[in-house]
Amino acid sequence: MIPEYAQVRIIRIEGDPAMRVISSSYDPPLIPQVGDSATVVDVQSAAGRYVVELVEPDARAKWVAWFHEAELERV
């Protein structure tokens, strides 16, 4: 189990990554990519998912998306 606020890297994305996006500061929303490093902001253990956020240097959310543990690695 990956704890909340852990830094992770996306190592794969099963299915359409656009369907994973919960929110983004951009219009159209930016999409997570394999290799992106981000922060776990919520652990939804009942659903087996992790909500992960990638924040830009100016504090805008590039994207907030959900992933399964097998799609992430701690960094």
Provide the CATH topology of domain 7-74. SH3 type barrels. (2.30.30)
Q: Which residue has the tokens 């299915």?
A: 15
Pairing of strands 21-23, 61-67: antiparallel
CA dist 2 and 31 (Å) reads: 22
As a whole number, mean pLDDT of residues 29-42 equals: 98
Q: What is the structure's pLDDT at 16? A: 97
pLDDT band at 73 (very low <50, low <70, confident <90, very high): very high
Domain ranges of the chain: 7-74
Structural tokens at position 57: 């240097």
State whether residue 49 is helix, strand or coil. strand
What tens digit of pLDDT does each residue of 46-66 get?
Answer: 999 999 999 999 999 999 999
C-beta neighbour count of 68 within 10 angstroms? 14
